[in-house]
Structure 1
Amino acid sequence: MPDPPHSVDPVQLGAYFALVEVSGLLRHAIEQQLHDDGGLTFVRFQVLMRLAQSPTGSHRMTDLADAIVHSRSGLTYQAGLLEKAGLVARTPSPDDERGVTVTITDAGRALIAEVLPGHEEVVGRMLFDPLSREDSRTLIGLLEPVRDHMRALPPRSAVSRRRSRRP
């Protein structure tokens, strides 16, 4: 017998809606800044940042899609646009004949360096200005276990693409 659906109480529902609203408002401000400062979308910024933060400057496309929570086909499209702009390079994966590795270029690193100060300013102003240092620590303590719980589920690339039919 399947487990009953999870019930969310009014306090949890209020927390959920506050999180969704904060995320939406912050993302809107970030997307505007990234567009204005570097002609980037949020997804392309995420790709470049993940690559820039990698010790090798590279990731397998499937792993990158899972990391930024984006579809594989959508990431392929975005990587193609970034490659066309000279910000990344795609090559066959050395350990998987069907896989593709994406690597940030010097131009990609330069663009990140150009947009990052404005990005940090927007995040600081929008998210952290109303919080104390201790509030920020508390926020980390609250969000990390939720993120880790969600990340423990199978990655998007491992989930079947078939949609279940509803009765």
Structure 2
Amino acid sequence: MTEEEPPPPLDPAELGAYFALIEVSSLLRHTVEQQLRDAGDLSYVQFQLLATLGDAADGSRRMTELADGVVYSRSGLTYQVGLLEKAGLVTRGPSEEDDRGVTVTITDAGRDVLAQVFPGHIDVLRRLFLEPLAREDVEDLARVLTVVRDHMRSIPPRSAKPRRRSTARRRT
């Protein structure tokens, strides 16, 4: 049995891109989270959920789809959806496609909260993220990040992986 060789270290350009991505993500997320709290008393994940539902043609998605879309654990998503439901921003019901599934639907109040937070959200994105970039840079960045996202999505997030069922071994 041979040991696998460790991967080669990242070169300076790779390491620089990685650290810049982490820092940009952290700085942007911090400001976005503050804006969402101030404008709509929403967490980042709650905003993602409402925005995803608001973007759906019928305003509904299955819980599994939501978990995959926002890359969040099933239990964490259930908790967040419960908070949104208590606030009257979403409803939950049985899935028409699968009796075991749950469908979440945005309410009119949820759409109102989105309308309330979106202007400030767009302002933050423009001011912090897009303003220093030329249009060509934005297009290049969108293209590059789409390639990376699609690659990462080709490896399903944990919420999309089939659940393991424990099976007791039978002795014969």
Deviation string, structure 1 residues 86-135 (Cα, Å, up to 9, x no partner): 00000011121111000000000000000000000000000011101111
1:154, distance to aligned residue in structure 2 (A): 2.0
Where does structure 2 lack aligned partners over 5 or more consecutive residues? 165-172
Where does structure 1 lack aligned partners over 5 or more consecutive residues? 163-167
In structure 1, what is the equivalent of residue 141 of structure 2?
A: 139
1:6, distance to aligned residue in structure 2 (A): 3.9
In structure 1, what is the equivalent of residue 88 of structure 2?
A: 86
Given the superposition, is the C-alpha separation of residues 161 and 23 from structure 1 closer, same or farther in structure 2, using an over 3 Å criterion?
A: farther
Q: TM-score, normalised by structure 2?
A: 0.89
In structure 2, what is the equivalent of residue 165 of structure 1?
A: none
Given the superposition, is the C-alpha separation of residues 50 and 6 from structure 1 closer, same or farther in structure 2, using an over 3 Å criterion?
A: farther
CA distance in 2, matches of 1:105, 1:11: 46
- Find the partner of 1:112 among 106, 111, 114: 114
Amino acid at match of 1:154: P
Given the superposition, is the C-alpha separation of residues 3 and 104 from structure 1 closer, same or farther in structure 2, using an over 3 Å criterion?
A: farther
Consecutive aligned runs of 4 or more in structure 1 exceeding 6 Å deviation: none
- Find the partner of 2:58 among 37, 48, 56: 56
In structure 1, what is the equivalent of residue 129 of structure 2?
A: 127
CA distance in 2, matches of 1:80, 1:158: 21
Q: Based on CA coordinates, which of the two structures has the bigger radius of gyration?
A: 2
1:76, distance to aligned residue in structure 2 (A): 0.2
> Over aligned residue pairs, what C-alpha RMSD do you find?
1.7
Residues 1:15 and 2:17 are matched in the alignment: yes
Quote the sequence identity (%): 60
In structure 1, what is the equivalent of residue 99 of structure 2?
A: 97
- For the residue of structure 1 that corresponds to 2:88, the secondary structure is coil
Amino acid at match of 2:140: T
CA distance in 1, matches of 2:116, 2:13: 41
- For the residue of structure 1 that corresponds to 2:156, the secondary structure is coil
Deviation string, structure 1 residues 50-80 (Cα, Å, up to 9, x no partner): 0000001000001100100100100000000
Given the superposition, is the C-alpha separation of residues 3 and 125 from structure 1 closer, same or farther in structure 2, using an over 3 Å criterion?
A: farther
Given the superposition, is the C-alpha separation of residues 41 and 3 from structure 1 closer, same or farther in structure 2, using an over 3 Å criterion?
A: same
Given the superposition, is the C-alpha separation of residues 6 and 158 from structure 1 closer, same or farther in structure 2, using an over 3 Å criterion?
A: farther
In structure 2, what is the equivalent of residue 68 of structure 1?
A: 70
Given the superposition, is the C-alpha separation of residues 87 and 4 from structure 1 closer, same or farther in structure 2, using an over 3 Å criterion?
A: farther
Q: TM-score, normalised by structure 1?
A: 0.91
1:2, distance to aligned residue in structure 2 (A): 8.2
CA distance in 2, matches of 1:57, 1:5: 47
